[in-house]
Structure 1
Amino acid sequence: MLWKEMWESHRGRIVGVTGGVLFGIVYLVSGFWDMLFFALVVFIGYIFGKRKDLHQGSLPQWKEAVQRLSEKWRPFK
């Protein structure tokens, strides 16, 4: 019962991390710096899965992010 509840509430995160791990293992067969890339791939998979769980879409809204950053980092306020 616990696994079913976890799957229903965190499906995107579980699939994202699993995908990241699988793609990372394929790349990881090589060395230390590749381990850092592996961690990045798992993190990206987690982020996409979390966004899916929260029903935010698979990709970030770039226009909103650029607008928010430009308002925050305007050189002359």
Structure 2
Amino acid sequence: MPWKEVWESHGGRIAGVAFGIILGFIYLISGFWDMLFFALVVFIGYTLGKRKDNAQAPLFQWQEFVQRLSGRGRPFK
């Protein structure tokens, strides 16, 4: 079987194993919690980049958030 056919039929599995090996090396070098934090940061970056590429609305409505934090939203003045 030529490599192109193998990649086309098993590309997801090959990529998954490669990703697992990379995460395994990160775990061995830096530790479990550091690896999870790194994966979280990468996921957040991917999600924000994907939303920007698809021209979707921002996750947070910053003007509304600022108005709530300003004097109007506080019950104790």
Same-fold call, TM cutoff 0.5? no
TM norm structure 1: 0.37
Higher relative contact order (CA 8 A, sep 6+): 1
TM norm structure 2: 0.37
Bigger Rg, which one: 2
